Amino acid sequence: TETEAVIVKFGLRGAFPPEVEAQANAIPSQIPDEALVGRLDLRSFNIFTVDGRDAKDFDDAIHIQPTPEGTFVVGVHIADVSHYVQEGTPLDEEAYARATSVYLPGRVLPMLPEHLSNGVCSLVPDEDRLTMTALVELSAEGEILKVQIAPSVINSKARLTYDEVQAYSEATATLPDAARMLEGDLHLLLKITTKLRQKRLREGSLDFKMREVKVDVGPDGKMELTPIREETARGMIEDLMLLANKVVARYLIERSVPALFRIHEEPTLQRFQDVTNAIGRLGFSFPGGQPTPQAYQAVLKQVRGTNRESVVNTMLLRSMQQAKYAGENLGHFGLAFGEYLHFTSPIRRYPDLLVHRVLRGVLSGELKAGSRAVAELQGKLPGMGDHTSARERTAAEAERDLTKYYQAKWAQEHLGESFPGAVSGVTASGLYVALDNGVEGKLHISHLDDDYYVYLEDAQILRGRSGGRSYRLGDSVNVTIQTVKPLARQTDLTLADPTDPAYRAGTMPEENSMDSPVKIRARRREDREQEKQKRLETVEVSAPRKFTLDDPDEGQSAPTSAQSNAQSGARERGQNAGRSGQPQGGRQRTFGGVPVDAGSQGGSRQGGQGSGGRGARRVVTLERPRNEHLRPVNITVQRMYFGDWTLDNMPPEEPQGGGRQGGGRPDRPGVERGRGYSRGGNDRGAHERSAGGRSGSGTARSGGQPQATPAPRPQEASAPAPTQGASGDEANKRRRRRRGRRSGNGAGEG
* pLDDT tens-digit map of 34-87: 999 999 999 999 999 999 888 888 999 999 999 999 999 999 999 999 999 999
* pLDDT tens-digit map of 592-623: 333 434 333 334 333 343 344 444 444 444 45
Phi, psi (rounded to 5 degrees) for 267: -60, 150
Q: Which has more pLDDT, 343 or 705? A: 343
How many Cβ atoms from other residues are within 10 Å of residue 707's Cβ?
21
Among 93-97, 270-274, 429-433, 645-649, which is the least confidently predicted range? 645-649
Q: What is the pLDDT of residue 509?
A: 63
Q: What is the pLDDT of residue 239?
A: 94
Confidence of residue 230 (pLDDT cuts 50, 70, 90): low
How far apart, in whole angstroms, are the C-alpha atoms of residue 213 and residue 471? 25
> Do the strands 490-495 and 440-444 form a parallel or antiparallel pair, or are they unpaired?
parallel
- All residues at 6 or more sequence positions from 739 whose CB lies less than 8 Å from its CB, including other chains: 748, 749
| Closest C-alpha to 449, from 435, 464, 434, 461 | 464
Confidence of residue 674 (pLDDT cuts 50, 70, 90): very low
DSSP state of 344: S
Q: With a cut of 90, say whether residue 314 has pLDDT above it.
A: no
* pLDDT tens-digit map of 503-520: 888 777 654 433 334 343
| Closest C-alpha to 482, from 443, 538, 511 | 443
How far apart, in whole angstroms, are the C-alpha atoms of residue 360 and residue 83? 9
**Three-class DSSP category at 200:** helix
| Structural contact between residues 57 and 122, judged by C-beta atoms closer than 8 angstroms | yes
> Do the strands 476-485 and 417-427 form a parallel or antiparallel pair, or are they unpaired?
antiparallel
Q: With a cut of 60, say whether residue 565 has pLDDT above it.
A: no
Rg (alpha carbons) of the chain, rounded to whole number: 36
The type of residue at 186 is L
**C-alpha distance from residue 48 to each of 61, 157, 180, 380 (Å):** 5, 5, 12, 36
Confidence of residue 441 (pLDDT cuts 50, 70, 90): very high
Confidence of residue 97 (pLDDT cuts 50, 70, 90): very high
Confidence of residue 584 (pLDDT cuts 50, 70, 90): very low
DSSP state of 681: T
Q: What is the pLDDT of residue 541?
A: 53
Q: What is the pLDDT of residue 60?
A: 94
Among 69-83, 297-311, 409-423, which is the least confidently predicted range? 297-311
E strands, 613-671, in order: 635-637, 640-642
Q: Which has more pLDDT, 57 or 218? A: 57
How far apart, in whole angstroms, are the C-alpha atoms of residue 678 and residue 687? 7
Q: Across the chain, what does the average pLDDT equal?
A: 76
What are the beta bridge partners of residue 449? none
How many Cβ atoms from other residues are within 10 Å of residue 139's Cβ?
14
How far apart, in whole angstroms, are the C-alpha atoms of residue 494 and residue 448? 8
Q: What is the pLDDT of residue 196?
A: 94
What angle, rounded to 10 degrees, do the helices at 232-254 and 350-364 form? 50
* pLDDT tens-digit map of 193-208: 999 999 999 888 888 7
How far apart, in whole angstroms, are the C-alpha atoms of residue 374 and residue 58? 31
Q: What is the pLDDT of residue 709?
A: 41
Q: With a cut of 70, say whether residue 726 has pLDDT above it.
A: no
* pLDDT tens-digit map of 270-285: 889 888 888 888 888 8
Q: Which has more pLDDT, 311 or 141? A: 141
Q: What is the pLDDT of residue 488?
A: 92
